[in-house]
Amino acid sequence: MGERRRYRKRADQVVVAIRLELEGAGFAYRKWGGEQHCKAGDWLVDNDGDVYTVDADSFARTYRQVGRGHFVKSAPVWAEQTAAAGSVKTKEGASHYEAGDYLVANEADGSDAYCVQREKFEAMYEIDG
């Protein structure tokens, strides 16, 4: 693994999101090479055509609204480039990555983690500081 560094999402990286204010236990779906799960109250996010869910608490801590249904990730993330393929356990399920992709965490200690393909990560994020 590479060194974990602090990044910030570029200001022009707006997502469309709606809160899943539905009754019930949520639903399961396949993405990132594994089964993902969302719960009532989680968010359904469209990130430039990449659609996925985000845990309600994580979304509340890391995003801010900039317009009706439009949000930006305002909190910094900590990321490191991977040397080999593998998987990471996320709040929604397991996500698989290839060598060179990034492991990204919402917390400095590496928790609340997920993975992002190298090209997408480098287009969306910049070093913070």
Give 3-25 pLDDT, tens digit per residue. Answer: 899 999 998 999 999 999 988 88
- Residue 56 has a pLDDT of 96
Q: Is the Cα dihedral 74, 76, 81, 82 positive or negative?
A: negative
Say what the pLDDT of residue 2 is: 66
* Tokens describing residue 32: 């990132």
Q: Which domain holds residue 15?
A: 5-127
The pLDDT tens digits for 95-108 are 999 999 999 999 99
Helices and strands, counts by H and E, the chain: 2, 14
Q: What CA–CA distance (Å, rounded) separates 127 from 3? A: 13
Closest alpha carbon to 52 in 79, 24, 33: 33
**For residues 82 and 43, what is the distance between their CA atoms, to the nearest angstrom?**
27
How many domains does the chain fold into? Answer: 1
* pLDDT 10s digits, 25-83: 889 999 988 999 999 999 999 999 999 999 999 999 999 999 999 999 999 999 999 99
| pTM (2 d.p.) | 0.86
